[in-house]
A = this chain, B = another copy of it.
Amino acid sequence: MKNLIIASTSTIHGSGYLEYILDELTLFFKDTEEILFIPYARPSGISHEDYTAIVQKAFDKINIKANGIQTFENPIEAVKNAKGIFVGGGNTFVLTTMLYKNNLIEILKLAVENGTPYLGTSAGSNICGLTIKTTNDMPIIYPPSFDALKFVPFNINPHYLDPDTNSTHMGETRETRIKEFHKFNTPPVIGLREGSWLRVEGESILLKGHLSARIFEANKTAYEVESDTELSALK
């Protein structure tokens, strides 16, 4: 049975790394004392080691050991044997490139199909959708494909941001960008605000956190869904 937390962000304003979601993670990872951490997205380009140290500091609070995938000789075996997986945020293009390069796409799919709990934040959530075509990140590396892990039958837009009505900047708003996506692609997109996450259990996909989320479907007006809404029909 699939078992995922797909979170918009690792960190909400004025709070520590993963702090807002730690109680949830205690329950989520209750059957294991160690998880596999995949630091490939390298936020601000930090090293895998430095990133793992930041993550370990947060997981110390719930007595979980986070083993960085870079410490394993064989990353495929590391995924296969993991009792829990966390893919952290950073740059989605860097993350996707590394997953393809290390042949981890199919083995991650298999692990999640077999029920290994998977936590994603930001870039680590982006790759849970059909493609990475709705990432906000800068394309600093050319990945072999934009196809993602397809754990949910739609696309994710993490860190969803409402238009700033006071702005004089002429760059596109997030909503405009997602509408552009729908001129060339059909899958729905869920705009997940910071502090929101999707809780996937088997066929169920529930929106969690305090905020509403914004749903974009091709040829439809965008609309809001409240927390605890079941989203499994969205495809």
Contact = CB atoms under 8 A, between A and B. Distances in A.
B45 A171 contact: no
Contacts of A183: 42, 44-45, 140
A180 B134 contact: no
A168 to B, nearest CB: 4
A187 to B, nearest CB: 11
Interface residues of A, number: 43
B133 A140 contact: yes
A138 B177 contact: yes
A170 to B, nearest CB: 5
Interface string A123-139: 00000000011111111
A45 B179 contact: yes
Interface stretch (A49-57, A58-66, A67-75, A141-149): A141-149
- Chain copies in the assembly? 2
Contact of A133 (B44, B138, B177): B138
B140 A180 contact: yes
A140 B181 contact: yes
Contacts of A169: 13, 159, 161, 194
Contact of A168 (B13, B42, B45, B179): B13
A91 B180 CA distance: 8
A105 B136 CA distance: 27
A204 interface: no
A164 B130 CA distance: 32
A14 B167 CA distance: 12
A81 interface: no
Query: 3 closest Cβ contacts across the A-B interface?
Result: A45-B183, A13-B168, A159-B171
Given A45-B183, A133-B141, 17 more contacts: A13-B169, A44-B179, A45-B179, A134-B138, A135-B138, A136-B172, A137-B177, A138-B180, A139-B139, A139-B146, A140-B177, A140-B180, A140-B183, A141-B184, A142-B146, A159-B171, A169-B194
Interface of A: 9, 11-14, 42-45, 91, 93-94, 132-142, 145-146, 159, 161, 168-172, 176-185, 194
